[in-house]
Chains A and B, each alone.
Chain A
Amino acid sequence: MNSSAPKRLTMPFDREELSQLRAGDACLLTGPMYTLRDAGHMRLIAELDEAGEDALPYGLDGQAIFYAGPTPAAAGRPFGAIGPTTASRMDFAAPRLHDAGIAAVIGKGVRSQDVREACIRNGAVYFVTVGGAAAYLAKCVTASETLAYDDLGTEALRRIEVVDFPVFVGIDVVGNDVYSTV
């Protein structure tokens, strides 16, 4: 059983700090994260293929990707609602992106063995957050800027700023998986 008092972490992540987290830990994240989901991942992977090397564009190196497609702005906030989408749909791209420098991702649901191994190999972490709590999570977002793929609508690449964004550690750097402990 992990302590239930959430750990406060800032992004971009300190890898040493990430390595101390264990599956099931509750955390509050503050700092920049990048939203990207299905179609955006296909674009990003195609860009890496075309470049012929896995150097991450758009300042993504060392950053955290949030698997999310928000609603438009509402109630004076950058988004009316934003929350996690099913992470396993990004399993095709996640190991390559972790190898290229993505420090963490945030989503929901069970990941593949390949993703678990990529977390171990790279000292990366998969965080999960609560699906269906998107009005609450939108209150944690203070700013948003579209960086690329604007034509994809909700699936565009955005840099957002969050404060005290609640997550749990899904897969830690030694490969423990919160869902397999349940």
Chain B
Amino acid sequence: MAKTITRDMVANTLREALPQLAFELPADIEAALRAACEREESPRAVMALNLLVENACIAREDRVAICQDTGSVWVCLEIGPDVSVQGDVLADANDVVAEAFVQHNLRKSLVRDALFDRANTGDNTPAFCELRVSDKPGARLHVMCKGGGSDNASRVVMLTPGAGKQGIVDAVLACVREKAANACPPLVVGIGIGATFDKVAGLAKMALMRPLGEAAPDPRVAEFEDELLQAINATGIGAAALGGSTTALGVRVNTAPCHIAALPLAINMGCSAMRRGTYEL
């Protein structure tokens, strides 16, 4: 008997997730900030990291937002082969977001149209929703509240196959050097490699969902993540971009098949307040 996912299951999970993400820094991120603070030698970076750790405690205890940019809400329902879905189960997401952003005093950061009508929608809707089919059994809801500053520091680059691994390292470092200061470091860097122009950004975003303590299943990916992390931290940009040894807390890479002519690369910058969570349904 297939498990059935309903609108209510999605809405109830999202309703619980939103205040939790706004007020409680994910444990893996907080632990990584504390560890970075202990390693750090630059006095300015130590001040910045101490501030970020204290900030996480204040937000959690006082039930206030970790960051004033409480983000745009991304909701991704991932369903396995043993799961059936009753119609548009994401249909209540906007109502849940509107209610949560008002009830929990979160910031309304969305405008009606990017170009033609930049009036604030007043309730942080719409949520950006998607349904994803996976071969992993069960169903889970991925939720991310993404700040504008770090998303603005992200990019898609269509490399050529000859650029290879070094081309990717160079493009990632160029992006970090240009944009890290705007993206609230220490960063979590999500990287997508492969697929097509439109899909590669999704790979990078999904990469940000994997917790910092969880190694990539493919050892080649894990090794490349370490290589990129070391290169990013060797820039010396540091916490708050004030100079220091931890520019990124982690690098998360997702790869995929692609066209013989292509080497698509997407870099989705995550900030030090990387608010995301995966919830089993």
Binding site for B on A (CB under 8 A): 4, 24, 26, 39, 68-75, 77, 79-83, 85-86, 88, 108-110, 128, 130-136, 138-139, 152-155, 166, 168, 178-179, 181-182
Known A-B contacts A26-B47, A86-B152; A132 and B65 likewise in contact (beta carbons under 8 Å):
no
Interface hits, B129-153 → A, CB 8 Å: 148-149, 152
A132 to B188, CA, bound (A): 13
Known A-B contacts A132-B273, A135-B59; A69 and B68 likewise in contact (beta carbons under 8 Å):
yes
A182 adjacent to B243 (CB under 8 Å): yes
Task: Determine the chain A residues whose CB is within 8 A of the CB of B242 once the complex forms.
Answer: 24, 128, 168, 178, 182
B181 adjacent to A81 (CB under 8 Å): no
A110 to B182, CA, bound (A): 7
A91 to B69, CA, bound (A): 20
B52 adjacent to A71 (CB under 8 Å): no
For A70, A79, A108, A182, the residue with the greatest tally of chain B CB atoms inside 10 Å of its CB is A182
A168 to B109, CA, bound (A): 27
Task: Determine the chain B residues whose CB is within 8 A of the CB of A109 once the complex forms.
Answer: 149, 181-182, 241
Task: Determine the chain A residues whose CB is within 8 A of the CB of B181 once the complex forms.
Answer: 108-110, 179
A136 adjacent to B240 (CB under 8 Å): no
A153 adjacent to B122 (CB under 8 Å): yes
Task: Determine the chain B residues whose CB is within 8 A of the CB of A110 once the complex forms.
Answer: 181-182
Q: How large is the interface on B (under 10, 10 to 19, 20 to 34, 35 or more residues)?
A: 35 or more
A135 adjacent to B240 (CB under 8 Å): no
CB distance from B51 to the nearest CB of A (A): 5
Contact residue among A24, A108, A139 (Cβ-Cβ distance under 8 Å from B184)? A108
Known A-B contacts A109-B182, A178-B242, A179-B181; A153 and B68 likewise in contact (beta carbons under 8 Å):
no
Contact residue among B48, B58, B107, B152 (Cβ-Cβ distance under 8 Å from A69)? B107
Name the residue on A nearest B239 (C-beta). A130
Chain A's interface: helix, strand, loop or mixed, by majority?
loop
Name the residue on B nearest A76 (C-beta). B62
Task: Determine the chain B residues whose CB is within 8 A of the CB of A134 once the complex forms.
Answer: 55, 65-69
Contact residue among A72, A75, A77, A136 (Cβ-Cβ distance under 8 Å from B51)? A136
With A24-B242, A71-B70, A80-B65 given, can you name 16 additional A-B contacts, CB distance below 8 Å? A4-B47, A71-B65, A74-B65, A86-B149, A130-B52, A130-B239, A131-B149, A132-B55, A132-B273, A133-B51, A133-B54, A134-B69, A135-B66, A136-B55, A166-B47, A166-B51
Interface hits, B40-57 → A, CB 8 Å: 43-44, 47-48, 51-52, 54-56
Binding site for A on B (CB under 8 A): 43-44, 47-48, 51-52, 54-56, 58-59, 62-70, 105-109, 118, 120, 122, 148-149, 152, 181-182, 184, 236-243, 271-273
CB distance from A60 to the nearest CB of B (A): 22
A148 to B271, CA, bound (A): 31
A82 to B239, CA, bound (A): 19
Known A-B contacts A132-B272, A154-B107; A168 and B44 likewise in contact (beta carbons under 8 Å):
yes
Q: List 9 A-B contacts (CB under 8 A).
A: A26-B47, A81-B64, A83-B69, A86-B149, A134-B55, A135-B56, A136-B54, A168-B44, A181-B243
A139 to B8, CA, bound (A): 37
Closest 10 CB pairs of A and B: A131-B184, A80-B64, A81-B65, A109-B182, A135-B59, A182-B243, A75-B62, A136-B55, A134-B68, A81-B68
A75 to B271, CA, bound (A): 25
Contact residue among A73, A81, A179 (Cβ-Cβ distance under 8 Å from B66)? A81
A75 to B105, CA, bound (A): 10
Known A-B contacts A88-B182, A108-B184, A130-B51; A82 and B64 likewise in contact (beta carbons under 8 Å):
no
Name the residue on B nearest A166 (C-beta). B51
A71 adjacent to B68 (CB under 8 Å): yes
A130 adjacent to B48 (CB under 8 Å): yes
A182 to B67, CA, bound (A): 25
B63 adjacent to A83 (CB under 8 Å): no
A26 adjacent to B44 (CB under 8 Å): yes
A71 adjacent to B58 (CB under 8 Å): no
